Amino acid sequence: MRTQVAIIGAGPSGLLLGQLLHKAGIDAVIVERQSGEYVLGRIRAGVLEQVTMDLLDEAGVGQRMHQEGLIHHGFDMLFKGERHRINLDHLTGGKKVMVYGQTEVTRDLMEARQAAGLTTVYEANNVSIHDFGTEKPRVRFEKDGQSHEIECDFIAGCDGFHGVCRASVPQSAIKEFEKVYPFGWLGVLSDTPPVHEELIYVNSPRGFALCSQRSQTRSRYYLQVPLTDKVEQWSDQAFWDELKLRLDPQARDQLVSGPSIEKSIAPLRSFVTEPMRFGRLFLAGDAAHIVPPTGAKGLNLAATDVKYLSTALIEYFQEKSPAGIDHYSERCLRRIWRAERFSWWFTSLMHHFPENGDIGQKLQEAELDYIIHSDAGSRSVAENYVGLPLNFGESA
């Protein structure tokens, strides 16, 4: 099999890259080790920045997003038992975010790829990449008991944190930066109306909480829990009881509880690998970086990686210029570290760190009080939350 770009991973970043390349007339094959049903079954975040919305429109898959997505013009920060709104519209000159689940983004991209008759290999076993330091990289995999090989010009590693692409890079050629947080997020998905029309981020002496949503009838809630906790320890009733203890009285009264349709505990980490290009192999999305979910930067960062990479590859094939691919890593990393900084800061501000004692809680509350009463503080939070422009800080 021969293609111009072999994409490893059929999550949203791999599918979005494939769609953008297809729109530019560049051939790409996607190889995924899981089934399509498994990929669609993964529960992930659902807050899209304007840059990501624009990219999905550019890829031709934004129609359902605009019909069903929920536009949010702000969000609430709750501390000391009271809620305060961050008005994104006012603070950023009209910018906004949209609540639209990652599962739905993936579905839209899958359906577009299928409708175009493009090749995606699901349930590919023993995927391996070869010769990406040469001009003739290859991808090998097994499918239905038979061995296959793809010859290509470039390999895009969109296969996540545990994927084969980053693991195939010699350790001497790569540097990894990581911080693992001492707690996780216990998440519950329920077919109940959201407690509030916008998100509520909660700083509480009992721990962080987040009230989120997927639609007008489906809610997503999170609690900060110790890493030693197991999902089995948390009954639905125990979850709702603890959430109420972290909310303000109004939200507590308005909360509609119900059976969970999904419950899981996700660890939190900050992770970045440098560089993101190794010869003709490029890393994108979770293969190259992980952010704590506070502030919902993960999917949006992956989308901007893909924008930079698709632009660079289109420039290479159509204009015979290597400039874009030569600067891909540097350009991505500058944006990634900004998002990592914000996610780390927001996580550090909103979560309970027992080792910091009572003074740690008081200092968090003082910073939150400053943020909501300072135009500069509120604007900084809002600017980062809606997402920095693609060319932020770049030379003209």
Cα separation of 75 and 290, whole Å? 23
Q: What is the pLDDT of residue 391?
A: 78
* Burial status of residue 391 (CB atoms within 10 A of its CB: 0-12, 13-18, 19 or more): exposed
Residue 331 has pLDDT above 70, yes or no: yes
User: Residue 214: which H helix or E strand, with range?
Assistant: none
* 71-86 as b/e: b if 16+ CB within 10 A: ebbbbbbbbeeebeeb
What backbone torsions phi and psi does residue 265 show, to the nearest 5 degrees?
-115, 125
| Statement: residue 381 has pLDDT above 70 | yes
Question: Are 90 and 337 in contact, with CB atoms under 8 Å apart?
Answer: no
* Residues 6 or more apart whose Cβ sits within 8 Å of residue 78: 84, 200, 201, 202, 203, 204, 247, 248, 251
Tens-digit pLDDT profile for residues 141-179: 999 999 999 999 999 999 999 999 999 999 999 999 999
pLDDT at 393: 66
Answer yes or no: is pLDDT of 15 > 90.
yes
The mean pLDDT value for 203-215 works out to 94
> What residues act catalytically?
72, 201, 293, 297, 385
Which residue in this structure is represented by tokens 């599918």?
Answer: 15
The whole model's pTM is what? Answer: 0.92
* Structure confidence by residue, pLDDT tens digits, 234-292: 999 999 999 999 999 999 999 999 999 999 999 999 999 999 999 999 999 999 999 99
Torsion region of 256: left, alpha or beta (phi above 0 gives left; psi -120 to 50 gives alpha): beta
| For range 311-331, the mean pLDDT | 96
The alpha-helical segments, DSSP class H, found in 268-322 are 298-319
Extended strands (E) in 170-304: 175-190, 200-202, 209-213, 219-226, 260-274, 277-278, 281-283, 289-290
CB atoms within 10 A of CB 160: 20
Model confidence pLDDT, tens digit, residues 287-317:
999 999 998 899 999 999 999 999 999 999 9
374 three-class SS: coil
* Residue located via tokens 């290479």: 316
**What pLDDT score was predicted for residue 363?**
97
Q: Which fold has domain 5-70+97-177+269-352?
A: FAD/NAD(P)-binding domain (3.50.50)
Contact partners, residue 285, CB within 8 Å, separation at least 6: 9, 11, 12, 13, 14, 158, 160, 301, 302, 305, 306
pLDDT of residue 207: 96
